[in-house]
Amino acid sequence: MIEAWTWPTPNGHKVHIALEELELPYQVIPVNISAGEQFRPEFLAITPNHRIPAIVDPDGPGGRPISLFESGAILIYLAEKAGRLIPADPQARYACLQWLMFQMGGVGPMFGQFNHFSTYAAEKIPYAIERYQNEVLRLHRVLDKRLAQAAWLAGDAYSIADIATYPWLRNPHRRGVDFADYPNVKRWFEEIDARPAVQRGCAVLAEHQRKGAITDTAREVLFGKTQFTAR
């Protein structure tokens, strides 16, 4: 059975949703990133980057075990393993990979920086908040334009590109986004949001989702010395 080493964050939910959509049996191994469990030796043995998500599949290619980190690589692996959610047609396949990379290199990091500077940073730096707010809005415009041309990010069919992007677009008001300004994103988001497998994926470890302000311990683990200690 696939081991999913995760936590209920947007990158973690991508993997939970893909596993649910693909109906692959899996076992969740929670890695509490606010408590520093990402630095445990058993997790570092899977991912030197000490970030969730990571997976271990005892039945990998050639019947040999495989471990993977980086959510985009994990989604490609799971989709190829199951033979679904990644188009077979080369044109559509590259479109899927293109929008997956757009999420991995754009939406995730930029939204993450916006969250950091607007919510978590002890010092509020107007330049940083404004810069990432502008990026968040710009990326919504890019997505809206794409979704005006195509039903799904890869084209005609729902794919891992949609699964990668959807969790980052939840709770838009937290990023100063009103979906009324992005009608194509709104239509696309609502369709994904209604999928039973997506709802099951988002429920995984949901009881551990942070409610309220970040604690001092979590702030230190995620943004302080603990994070930057050489390992």
**DSSP code, position 51:** -
Please say whether the beta carbons of 160 and 92 come within 8 A.
Answer: no
Q: How far is the CB of 183 from ligand GSH (least distance, A)?
A: 28
Determine if 227 is a binding residue for ligand GSH (CB under 6 A).
yes
Residue placing its CB nearer to ligand GSH in the complex, 60 or 112 = 112
Of 76-135, which residues contact ligand GSH (CB under 6 A)?
A: 104, 108
Residue placing its CB nearer to ligand GSH in the complex, 108 or 201 = 108
Determine if 33 is a binding residue for ligand GSH (CB under 6 A).
yes
- Among 38, 118, 159, 165, which residue sits at the site for ligand GSH (rule: CB under 6 A)? 38
Structure tokens at 150: 């195509």
φ, ψ dihedrals at 125, nearest 5°: -105, 105
Residues 6+ apart with CB under 8 A from 84: 21, 22
**DSSP code, position 173:** G
- Among 5, 9, 155, 160, which residue sits at the site for ligand GSH (rule: CB under 6 A)? 9
Determine if 220 is a binding residue for ligand GSH (CB under 6 A).
no
Give how far Cα 12 sits from Cα of 16, 43, 151, 189, Å.
Answer: 7, 15, 25, 18
Classify residue 92 as exposed, middle or buried by CB count within 10 Å of its CB (0-12, 13-18, 19+): middle
Determine the interface stretch with ligand GSH among 18-26, 50-58, 89-97, 208-216 (rule: CB under 6 A): 50-58
- Among 4, 8, 11, 202, which residue sits at the site for ligand GSH (rule: CB under 6 A)? 11
Residue placing its CB nearer to ligand GSH in the complex, 70 or 135 = 70
Structure tokens at 118: 């607007």
φ, ψ dihedrals at 35, nearest 5°: -100, 0
Determine if 71 is a binding residue for ligand GSH (CB under 6 A).
yes
Residue placing its CB nearer to ligand GSH in the complex, 35 or 125 = 35
3-state secondary structure 121-138: CCCCCHHHHHHHHHHHHH
Determine the interface stretch with ligand GSH among 51-59, 122-130, 136-144, 186-194 (rule: CB under 6 A): 51-59
Enumerate binding residues for ligand GSH (CB under 6 A).
Answer: 9-11, 33, 38, 50-53, 70-71, 104, 108, 222, 227
